[in-house]
Structure 1
Amino acid sequence: MNKKARLATLTLAAVMLTGVAAGCSSSKNEGNKGTSSEPASSASASPASATKDPYEIAIAVPVFGAVPKDLPAVQEEISKIAQAKMNTTVKIIPVSIGAWGQQMNLMTSGREKLDLFFEFGQGYSADVAAGKIIPLDDLLNQYGEGIKNQIAPEYLNSAKINGKIYGAPVYKDYTTGVPGVLMRKDLVDKYQIDVASIKTIDDLDQVYETIKKNEPTIVPLGAGLTLPSDKYVWYDKLGDRYGVLPGYDNDLKVVNLFETKEYEDYLNKMHSWAKAGYFNKDAATSQVGGFELLKADKAFSYFIGLKPGNLESETRAAGKELVFVPLMSDIYATTSDTLGGLWTISSNSSNPERVMMFMNLMYTDKDIANLFIFGIEGKDYVKVTDTSIDYPEGVDSKTVGYSFQSWMYANPSIAYLMKSDHQEMWKLTAEANQNAIKSKALGFAFNSEPVKNEITALKNVTDQYVKGLETGTFDPADKLPEFRAKLKAAGIDKVIAEKQKQLDAWAAANQK
């Protein structure tokens, strides 16, 4: 990617830099010095002997909102399938997302009964280092053939730390998505906006001016909690942004993003938009997502890295028909994109062989997938076609007795689709994963332990400045030099040097 293209890409997508990082901080990293537990038993038993005795698998999952009332019935039906196939039952342990970190720390630090749990990518490396989860390589080879068939080697191997796989990534789109903007179709039609003429972020100036002039109660660009993260721009953030890899395919030279001319140009663009009134005034502090602002008739558009099925799901969330305008065609795959969530076996498990067998079912058994994601047929959903479903009559997403965040399930591609979903989304997902431009550092993850104090100091600085700068609230002429100086004082150069050292070691070990 040449300099001009990088600049254009950064400028169009850098508005996506704030928000919830979907990132992951771990994968194959030869520099990781953490220790880990070995499996409680080896993966050498035959399938017949491994299922001889009954076993109950305790599975911890995050719950967003109230515990579904139909969870006991779902658990019972899953147990029936697992009992018939592998002499196993399951106990699903729901944990409120608000208490997830604390509760999982208690469960894994003690010797509480726990076999299998969902792992957020950002906690993966730390749990490996703490010995809370076990390496899976031997277990995958003996009992995880379905997992290995589902996830391409370059993505499965991205979960390696010190040469071992400790978690199976959730099957999903592993790419950045196509950077672009989602707009309300009613307003696009009302003002006859020619979306085909929008090729770059600069082309939005006239569009936003039109909305600002004619819709005084609606901001042109909704900014807040769920602005897409920085993974959509022209660099691989290498787990965080304290040292990045420009262009994905460069010479593996780590640079300071915040010192680049491209970053400064982007901030100036955002500040010009803020002065023009194109952002909501609380953009730097808002905890409301872009789709929520559209739904409340407070915004016209928001930025996104669009993946297969996103347009349909975002339309449902916003409650309005949306138009997507791509601002870039290339999609990339990085370690952070791959490891948004994983399934891991707890070091507390007394039968990891059986747990791996069940994990394999989660990636291959359609009946278990549908139960886990959608609940009981006829009660929580009804079939519309052989492959699509809907809520039963009189039931909706708020009143249904069971729900589960499908993005957390091991392999949602084998389950039904809601009738409002893009019915080709999993075919398109497979194509995106195959065709994505792979970052040269795909499979590397930074172990921040050697510079943990500096990382803490840097986070304090970025928390103080980044969102204000990247939503245009702060004037870059005033605040950017101050921001850069404080990053220097907090130790960003030391962090970049350590990241470069680890990346060099990883590249040598993997012949990059």
Structure 2
Amino acid sequence: MGFINKCILCHKGSASVSDDSNSLGSTIASAGETADTEEAGSQEASSDNEVPSVGYNVTWDDIAEITVVYPSMNTIQAGLGAVEDAINEITEAEINTHVTLTMIEVGNYDQQINLMMSSGEQADLIVTMPAGPSSFATMTSQKQLIDITELLESYAPQALAGVGDMIGGTQIDGHTYAFPCYKSFASGIYINMRTDVLEDLGLLENAENMTTLAEYEEIMEAVKASEKWGYLAGCASTDGHGAVLPLNGTVGFTDIFSETTFMDNLGDTLTTVGVRNSDDTVINVFASEEFRKNYEIVRGWYEKGLVYKDSATTQEMGASLVKSNIVFSFVNQVEIGSEASVDTSCGMDMTSVRIAELPITSGNLTKFTWAIPTTSKEPEAAAVFLEMMFTDERIANLFAWGIEGVDYEVDDNGVAHYIEGNETPAYHTVAFLNANKFIVLPWEGDDPELNIQLEEQMKTAKTSRYLGFACDTTTVTDEISAINNAIEQYKAQIISGTADDATFDEFLEKLESIGIDTVVDTYQTQLNDWLEATGK
């Protein structure tokens, strides 16, 4: 694996990393290095701020205008304009680029991205989502993303070097179509519960020591039965798309946490296909025993009144529903070591209990990516801005936490936190959507050395045998489009527990009739070729 040997720690827009002969990625230029003065567009830092140049390859004379599109996991931030202005103070001077930030509420993201693509509206750099029409798999199959292989080599070489061989997760037939949001891909599945409720009911110790879903169910039932907290739903969709159990097409949940199983979905963000336990056989995930069991678990909770009744239709995520005092708990995927981020998202202290640790797969790498769509008018400037997002901590922290001194402060240990009296600032988003989360300041509750710890943990994390495989689905575009429509029609009902058995079976029959077996066969053929070519 080409993991960077040390966490990328940037200082005022510069980047440095130690050389590692075992890494397939080149080392990132050090803070003191500047690009060859003959390289077109090398930008010198101004003497006013004494920011050393990273050596961005700016090859245009007139200022480039780019539009950057990304989701808001909560509401649209009132301070978006101020953050945009602060970013442009940097980008206009250093990479001759003006950036327009377009933030879209996560529940409307699929629809708006679809509209932008169909209307040809300018979008130069966008975030792709884990599933749906704005996912990496769907957008590549629809030929909505451009091949950025040469763009990264010419305009974002340090970002390319930083992710090393993990760029293979966003490649199809050797061509790169997106850049993974670089973070710790060592993650786990966690049950997150309101600590105040647990303490009030005397259940905190029970929660902290639980090892089964049955124990979790008992706690939800106790909350429901209590006079004080009975108005809270036991659990809810974690993702705004109905999933009460996250990664339900990849993780096989069982009552006993330690018996949880996994499938690699081979980078398919629709989770149509999967491979069990490195047996090299591609299957229809929705027809698998694992997916049926996941449905039965959630269906049981729903029938007992433990699942938030609007989980199939709400666009709010689990953390937002907790923050709004509607839900007691939710299950989600979290970077190992970043459990404190759940407290931030929920706006309160949460007790997080790990169900299982997940291996790193191509699906991790394509869950959230930065891509340049076919509607881009300035792809070169977009690639250079991506490079700046990866290497410049000023840009990274503006994206995540807003403006220092206005939206947040930094303590003596280098940890960001809300300004006293301003716990709901004009701008505050998430760190995991950054091109390089390792240069985002840790948030209050995190260890000051969190980024280094996460990067170290990632180096020793389990990896899937199929990491780096990506399927070219252009021959089954019609089938995938039909499958996506069926998923839109049925899946939210099934994974939220609202659908009955007849509806589930109807969904499976629908998938068979529209060619899911053809998609499975396509993946199987290409996987066989890839295994032979790589010698795995």
Q: Does residue 147 of the first structure (1) align with residue 137 of the second (2)?
A: no
Mapped to 2, the partners of 1:461 and 1:368 lie a distance apart of: 40
1:58 is matched with: 65
2:517 is matched with: 493
Query: Equivalent residue of 1:283, what SS?
Result: coil
2:342 is matched with: 314
Mapped to 1, the partners of 2:282 and 2:378 lie a distance apart of: 43
CA gap 1:380/1:184 in 2 versus in 1, 3 angstroms = closer
Q: Does residue 383 of the first structure (1) align with residue 395 of the second (2)?
A: no
Shift of 1:182: 0.7
CA gap 1:417/1:58 in 2 versus in 1, 3 angstroms = farther
What letter matches 1:103 in structure 2? Answer: M
Shift of 1:334: 1.5
CA gap 1:281/1:134 in 2 versus in 1, 3 angstroms = closer
1:93 is matched with: 100
Mapped to 2, the partners of 1:504 and 1:54 lie a distance apart of: 48
Structure with the largest fraction of helix:
1
Query: Equivalent residue of 2:101, what SS?
Result: strand
Alignment of 1:49-448 (within 5 A): 49-51=39-41, 54-62=61-69, 64=72, 65=76, 68-71=80-83, 73-79=85-91, 82=94, 88-97=95-104, 99-103=112-116, 106=119, 117-120=125-128, 122=134, 124=136, 126=139, 130=143, 133-137=146-150, 140=153, 144-153=156-165, 155-175=166-186, 177-193=187-203, 194-214=206-226, 215-223=229-237, 225-226=239-240, 227=243, 228-230=246-248, 231-233=250-252, 234-238=262-266, 239=268, 240-247=270-277, 250-308=278-336, 310-328=338-356, 330-344=357-371, 352=380, 359-385=386-412, 387-392=414-419, 395-398=422-425, 400=426, 405-448=430-473
Shift of 1:209: 2.9
How many residues matched? 448
Larger displacement relative to structure 2 (165-174 or 491-500): 165-174
Given that 1:224 and 1:284 are in contact with CA atoms closer than 8 Å, whether structure 2 keeps it comes out as no
Shift of 1:143: 6.0
What letter matches 1:383 in structure 2? Answer: V
Given that 2:302 and 2:497 are in contact with CA atoms closer than 8 Å, whether structure 1 keeps it comes out as yes
Shift of 1:91: 0.5
What letter matches 1:486 in structure 2? Answer: K
Shift of 1:120: 1.4
Given that 2:238 and 2:331 are in contact with CA atoms closer than 8 Å, whether structure 1 keeps it comes out as no
CA gap 1:128/1:95 in 2 versus in 1, 3 angstroms = farther
Mapped to 1, the partners of 2:150 and 2:329 lie a distance apart of: 45
Shift of 1:246: 1.6
Mapped to 1, the partners of 2:306 and 2:415 lie a distance apart of: 40
Mapped to 1, the partners of 2:377 and 2:41 lie a distance apart of: 15
Given that 2:145 and 2:177 are in contact with CA atoms closer than 8 Å, whether structure 1 keeps it comes out as no
2:482 is matched with: 457
Query: Equivalent residue of 2:125, what SS?
Result: strand
1:48 is matched with: 38
What letter matches 2:168 in structure 1? Answer: N
What letter matches 1:170 in structure 2? Answer: C
CA gap 1:487/1:72 in 2 versus in 1, 3 angstroms = closer
CA gap 1:164/1:320 in 2 versus in 1, 3 angstroms = same
Mapped to 2, the partners of 1:284 and 1:372 lie a distance apart of: 30
CA gap 1:100/1:326 in 2 versus in 1, 3 angstroms = same
What letter matches 2:415 in structure 1? Answer: S
Identity rate, percent = 24
Query: Equivalent residue of 2:535, what SS?
Result: coil
Given that 1:387 and 1:416 are in contact with CA atoms closer than 8 Å, whether structure 2 keeps it comes out as yes
What letter matches 1:89 in structure 2? Answer: N
Larger displacement relative to structure 2 (492-501 or 226-235): 226-235
Shift of 1:440: 2.1
Query: Equivalent residue of 1:91, what SS?
Result: strand
Mapped to 2, the partners of 1:135 and 1:502 lie a distance apart of: 22
Query: Equivalent residue of 1:92, what SS?
Result: strand
Alignment of 1:25-40 (within 5 A): none
Larger displacement relative to structure 2 (259-268 or 294-303): 259-268
CA gap 1:492/1:94 in 2 versus in 1, 3 angstroms = same
Mapped to 1, the partners of 2:487 and 2:373 lie a distance apart of: 34
1:30 is matched with: none
What letter matches 1:288 in structure 2? Answer: E
Query: Equivalent residue of 2:99, what SS?
Result: strand
Shift of 1:387: 1.9
Given that 2:168 and 2:469 are in contact with CA atoms closer than 8 Å, whether structure 1 keeps it comes out as no
Structure 1: give runs of 5+ residues left out of the alignment.
Answer: 1-44, 83-87
CA gap 1:182/1:383 in 2 versus in 1, 3 angstroms = closer
Deviations 1:202-228 (A, max 9, x none): 332332332232243223222365343
Mapped to 1, the partners of 2:443 and 2:208 lie a distance apart of: 30
CA gap 1:243/1:473 in 2 versus in 1, 3 angstroms = same
Mapped to 2, the partners of 1:293 and 1:94 lie a distance apart of: 26
Deviations 1:219-263 (A, max 9, x none): 32223653433344421223123221123xx22111122333333
Structure 2: give runs of 5+ residues left out of the alignment.
Answer: 1-34, 43-59, 253-261
CA gap 1:209/1:131 in 2 versus in 1, 3 angstroms = closer
Mapped to 2, the partners of 1:481 and 1:128 lie a distance apart of: 27
Given that 2:84 and 2:101 are in contact with CA atoms closer than 8 Å, whether structure 1 keeps it comes out as no
Given that 2:236 and 2:327 are in contact with CA atoms closer than 8 Å, whether structure 1 keeps it comes out as yes
Scaled by the length of structure 1, the TM-score of the pair is 0.76
Deviations 1:460-497 (A, max 9, x none): 43334333333333333x44443333322222222211
Mapped to 2, the partners of 1:407 and 1:128 lie a distance apart of: 25
Shift of 1:404: 5.8
Scaled by the length of structure 2, the TM-score of the pair is 0.73
CA gap 1:197/1:280 in 2 versus in 1, 3 angstroms = same
